[in-house]
Amino acid sequence: MPGLLRPRALAPGDLVVIAALSGPLSAEHRSNVEETVTVFERMGFRVRLSPLVEQGRRRWWSAGRPGEVAHELNTLLRDPSVRAVVALDGGQTVLGYLDLIDYDAVVADPKPILGYSDISLLHLALYARTGLAGFHGDMAVPGFGGYWPSLPGRDALSAVYSTLLTSPVPFGPLPPGSAWECWRPGRAEGPLIGGVINRIALVQATPYGLPPDRFDGALLFWEELGGQASYVWSYLHVLRHSGILDRIAGMVVGVPQDISGLDETPLRTIVLDVLGDRDIGVLGNVDIGHAGANLPMPVGVRAALDAGERSLSLLEAAVR
């Protein structure tokens, strides 16, 4: 079982590349990319766009065929001048190229990969195969480029990202949001593992999923976009049947987005219904997912959860 693989800490002037690892760039989101370049330049990095980030370029719902997208990623993984990769957008593509990734290149030169949504599937597969601490966090679209320009706490959130990417020192407590809720009190320490809940369920059905014991003592974080409340209930039961809910030590739930039926059956009710009498702390409405700007959640990094106090702290550095 691979241990935690931390990327090298970024230094001023390092190259960050925005890459189309899933969906294509549409005309209405071109300004999001430009704003993302500005965000990372303000952090002190150089930024460039990879070839598939080209307005109007697409194949079906993706930026290219699975082989093309994998080539885009592998080229960046093998390029020593590239020190971090920021996903352009999420979508429905990563499942198509999990078998085409150069996992040896990840081990040879680990670098931060940032993104959520479909990119959370990439984080989970890379963590399973190599131990890479991927950054479940904002992307160019909408994230850095869409949510950040009007964000009241933009400078504070930028400092969180910059510190996590550049400092080989444990970050400590993440800044809590006013909407965070204790859904079930409890304290736990363990590695952060998670992403979009449907992607967690999907990847575990492939050879690129995590061995069950990797969830032992973990803090499971998840969020969801679209669909129905009953779908979330079903995904949670998939995790129950697979034994994951019996292995984890705590749960962090993001803010749901565009899920029908939650006005009748709140997400908190659904989560506690499936958990039953499992004695684990649950922190809800945390700033992760599609509803707004994301706190970065480094996959595999050990964290401390105190749901009753509505706190989440990173106990390890995400980079070395």
**Distance from CA of residue 307 to its chain's centroid?**
21
Top CATH class of 15-166 equals: alpha beta
- Tell which wins on pLDDT, 129 or 55: 129
Answer whether 15-166 and 172-314 agree in fold: no
pLDDT in tens, 118-176: 999 999 999 999 999 999 999 999 999 999 999 998 999 999 999 999 999 999 999 99
Q: Is the pLDDT of residue 55 over 80?
A: no
Q: Which among 261, 265, 252, 260 has a CA at the least distance from the CA of 294?
A: 252
Q: What is the per-residue pLDDT for 170?
A: 98
How distant, in Å, are the alpha carbons of 11, 120, 297 from that of 294? 23, 13, 9
User: How sure is the predictor about 44, in pLDDT bands with cuts at 50, 70 and 90?
Assistant: very high
Residues 93, 23: contact at Cβ < 8 Å? yes
Q: What is the per-residue pLDDT for 26?
A: 87
pLDDT in tens, 206-226: 999 999 999 999 999 999 999
User: How sure is the predictor about 27, in pLDDT bands with cuts at 50, 70 and 90?
Assistant: confident
Work out the average pLDDT over 240-261.
98
Residues 88, 53: contact at Cβ < 8 Å? yes
pTM of model > 0.95? yes
Q: Is the pLDDT of residue 29 over 90?
A: no
Match domain 172-314 to its CATH number in 2.60.110.10, 3.20.20.80, 3.40.50.300, 3.50.30.60: 3.50.30.60
Q: Which residues are catalytic?
A: 117, 223, 290
Q: What is the per-residue pLDDT for 153?
A: 87
Work out the average pLDDT over 95-113.
98
Q: What is the per-residue pLDDT for 28?
A: 83
How distant, in Å, are the alpha carbons of 14, 87, 165, 224, 297 from that of 128? 27, 20, 21, 21, 16
Return the bridge partners of 244, or none.
none
Q: What is the per-residue pLDDT for 86?
A: 98
* DSSP class per residue in the chain: ----BPPPPP-TT-EEEEE-SSSPPPGGGHHHHHHHHHHHHHTT-EEEE-TT--TT--BTTBSS-HHHHHHHHHHHHH-TTEEEEEES---S-GGGTGGG--HHHHHHS---EEE-TTHHHHHHHHHHHH-B--EE---IIIIIHHTGGG-TTHHHHHHHHHHHHH--S--EEPPPPTT-EEEE--EEEEEEEEEEHHHHHHHTTSTTSPPGGGGTT-EEEEE-BSSBHHHHHHHHHHHHHTTHHHH-SEEEEE--BS-BTTTTS-HHHHHHHHHTT---EEEEEES-STTS----EETT-EEEEETTTTEEEE-S-S--
- Token duo for residue 126: 């890379």
pLDDT in tens, 175-202: 999 999 999 999 999 999 999 999 999 9
Work out the average pLDDT over 83-109.
98
User: How sure is the predictor about 234, in pLDDT bands with cuts at 50, 70 and 90?
Assistant: very high
Residue ranges of domains in the chain? 15-166, 172-314
